[in-house]
Amino acid sequence: MNNVSFSFKNKNAVVTGGAAGIGFQITTSFLEAGGNVAVWDYSEQALQSAKDQLSKFGSQVQFVQVDIGNRDSVAKAASSLPWAVDILVNNAGITRDKSFAKMTADEWDAVISTNLTGLFNVTKGLLEKFNAASAHKRIISISSVVGLYGNFGQLNYAAAKAGVIGMTKTWGKELGRKGFTANAIAPGFIATAMTKAMPKEAIDAMAAKIPVARLGDTSDIANAVLFLASEQAAYINGATLSVDGGIVL
Ligand SMILES: NC(=O)c1ccc[n+]([C@@H]2O[C@H](COP(=O)([O-])OP(=O)(O)OC[C@H]3O[C@@H](n4cnc5c(N)ncnc54)[C@H](O)[C@@H]3O)[C@@H](O)[C@H]2O)c1
């Protein structure tokens, strides 16, 4: 179900990791709602696939290869934007899962560099590129249920995703007077290409632990992003919205 009827006509969004998975659905939903989107992703293959699937949106969408962990790459992408930004969706993220005892420093560094420092790089790089005249500037960052509750085998990921919530609250305090709101979304278990390839019994066993009895869909997250990006959500600031079917209840 992805027929949320917000209009984003004349609104400009940057979606990191917007070429695949949840980010691709966020990109598609903004485009369907009339917005312009710059898709920032580091995977050449994902960018090409997204380009093919979104060709009907023409100049509404642009595709930029950028590594959010690399400040030069972010600066170059920011300078190529054809418009001032209204909405930033910090969505790109990776995992390098291991128990704490087995986790290497490289696995720690990789996840912190993309999932935490990457959001600093992008938000800092775009701060002056936001539409100064807009009273509805939005920073929406994808955290995780794991950032709220921790998870076995995900020390690096849990630390980064908890950090995203701290950054969001601080942006909310510092930037509120400048016409921004900053909010985070904490998805639960979302069905992506990876989970769709899993055996039905394994999916059913996971779904049985979720009160609404199903995995989340990428559109469940995109719908929440569009709501937080809308002008109607103007009084929500510094919040973390759980979109997890009640998995931790
Ligand atoms: N899938 C889930 O169940 C789930 C649950 C909670 C949170 N999340 C979060 O949602 C976000 C999206 O997850 P997903 O499942 O769609 O992942 P995904 O792997 O399907 O897509 C992530 C996209 O980000 C891009 N990316 C990764 N590192 C990048 C970098 N350094 N620079 C630019 N682009 C980069 C990838 O190329 C890819 O296109 C992530 O932040 C993830 O942590 C996902």
pLDDT by residue, tens only, the chain of 249 residues: 555 578 999 999 999 999 999 999 999 999 999 999 999 999 999 999 999 999 999 999 999 999 999 999 999 999 999 999 999 999 999 999 999 999 999 999 999 999 999 999 999 999 999 999 999 999 999 999 999 999 999 999 999 999 999 999 999 999 999 999 999 999 999 998 777 777 788 788 889 999 999 999 999 999 999 999 999 999 999 999 999 999 999
Confirm or reject: Cβ of 74 under 6 Å from ligand 1: no
pLDDT score for 179? 98
Q: Is residue 16 part of a domain?
A: yes
pLDDT score for 4? 55
pLDDT score for 202? 78
155-162's contacts with Cβ under 8 Å and 24+ in sequence apart are 155/100, 155/103, 155/108, 156/96, 156/103, 156/107, 156/108, 156/110, 156/111, 156/112, 157/95, 157/96, 157/97, 157/111, 157/115, 159/112, 159/116, 160/93, 160/111, 160/112, 160/115, 160/116, 161/115, 161/186
Q: Is residue 184 part of a domain?
A: yes
Number of domains in the chain: 1
What does the DSSP 8-state code read for residue 42?
Answer: S
Ligand 1 centroid – CA 186 distance (Å): 13
Domain CATH code at residue 214: 3.40.50.720
- Closest-lying ligand 1 atom to the alpha carbon of residue 92: 24
Domain hosting 198: range is 12-243
pLDDT score for 2? 56
Q: Is residue 5 part of a domain?
A: no
Please indicate whether residue 157 is annotated as part of the active site. yes
pTM: 0.97
User: What is d(CA 231, CA 243) in angstroms, rounded to the nearest whole number?
Assistant: 20
DSSP structure string for 71-104: HHHHHHHHHT-SS-BSEEEE-------B-TTT--
Q: Is residue 6 part of a domain?
A: no
Confirm or reject: Cβ of 189 under 6 Å from ligand 1: yes
Ligand 1 centroid – CA 133 distance (Å): 31
Confirm or reject: Cβ of 21 under 6 Å from ligand 1: yes
Helix (H, G, I), strand (E, B) or coil at 201: helix
User: What is d(CA 108, CA 100) in angstroms, rounded to the nearest whole number?
Assistant: 10
Which residue is catalytic, options 42, 149, 157, 235? 157
**CB of 96 within 8 A of CB of 137?**
no
Ligand 1 centroid – CA 25 distance (Å): 12
Confirm or reject: Cβ of 216 under 6 Å from ligand 1: no
Ligand 1 centroid – CA 94 distance (Å): 6
Q: Is residue 92 part of a domain?
A: yes
